[in-house]
Amino acid sequence: PMGSERTEIRKRQMATTPETPGAAQAQLSTGNRGSNACCFCWCCCCSCSCLTVRNQEEERTRRTSHELQAEGIPNCEESPAPTLEEVNAWAQSFDKLMLTPAGRNAFREFLRTEFSEENMLFWMACEELKQESNKSVIEEKARLIYEDYISILSPKEVSLDSRVREVINRNMLEPSQHTFDDAQLQIYTLMHRDSYPRFMNSAIYKDLLQSLSEKSIEA
């Protein structure tokens, strides 16, 4: 009986004795490891998810930008292949180059390499506007031209001086076929003086001229 009583007392003492510092520290460390593991796991998952979403958004943005860019470039005009005589005539004057669809197409191809194709697109849109007679169609096309090539918010904005912009803003109150005449002339002059000389020295023009010359000799 005495032995069993001592055993019972020892059990009670062990039950009421606080944990040793080492044991408490061990338990604390274990708890921290568990907490850190959960936190690390969560952070890792969160980071992976964020990166995945971010990559998807960037890819979507790139794809959308590319699609919009492709949609924003109208197809070239339909025209027969230029003759050697026509291509030689382009070197005589800018007016002769702009008179033919084949000349405008070749020049547009060059402007695209210089990231200034909007100048030709604007000029062509103005030419198209001049052919309209229906008032509602004129107003709609004038609005689109303004948004695409005149607005400072447009990525295809053409370079115009303040005087011409003021004229356009006044004309837009009552749009007509000639709303953009001053601006069209300014852009035509810009292409003539700035881009045309470089086009005549470009590989695009020289290769076309050489190709037609060789075909002429073979014939």
- Is 217 within 8 Å of 122 (Cβ atoms)? no
**CA distance linking residue 117 with residue 80, whole number of Å:** 21
The CATH number linked to 107 is: 1.10.167.10
Does position 31 have pLDDT exceeding 90, yes or no?
Answer: no
Give per-residue pLDDT as tens, 48-86. 444 444 444 444 434 333 333 333 445 678 878 999 999
The pLDDT assigned to 79 comes to 78
Give a yes or no: residue 10 inside a domain: no
**Domain coverage including residue 117:** 84-216
In the block, tokens 């568990």 appear at 34
Q: Which residue has the higher pLDDT, 116 or 48?
A: 116
Give per-residue pLDDT as tens, 86-110. 999 999 999 999 999 999 999 999 9
The pLDDT assigned to 6 comes to 54
The answer to which of 3-12, 34-43, 88-97, 121-130 has the lowest mean pLDDT is: 34-43
- Is 91 within 8 Å of 180 (Cβ atoms)? no
Give a yes or no: residue 130 inside a domain: yes
Q: What is the pTM of this model?
A: 0.65
Give a yes or no: residue 48 inside a domain: no
In the block, tokens 């031209």 appear at 145
The pLDDT assigned to 75 comes to 62
* CA geometry: angle 137, 159, 76, nearest 5 deg: 55
Give a yes or no: residue 36 inside a domain: no
Give a yes or no: residue 54 inside a domain: no
- Domain total for the chain? 1
Give a yes or no: residue 74 inside a domain: no
Give a yes or no: residue 61 inside a domain: no
Give a yes or no: residue 37 inside a domain: no
Please give the average per-residue pLDDT across 33-60, as a whole number. Answer: 43
- Is 45 within 8 Å of 177 (Cβ atoms)? no
Q: How does residue 40 score in pLDDT terms, banded at 50, 70 and 90?
A: very low
- Is 179 within 8 Å of 171 (Cβ atoms)? yes
Give per-residue pLDDT as tens, 173-218. 999 999 999 999 999 999 999 999 999 999 999 999 999 999 888 8
Give per-residue pLDDT as tens, 122-175. 999 999 999 999 999 999 999 999 999 999 999 999 999 999 999 999 999 999
First-residue to last-residue Cα distance in the chain? 130
The pLDDT assigned to 8 comes to 58
**CA distance linking residue 30 with residue 26, whole number of Å:** 6
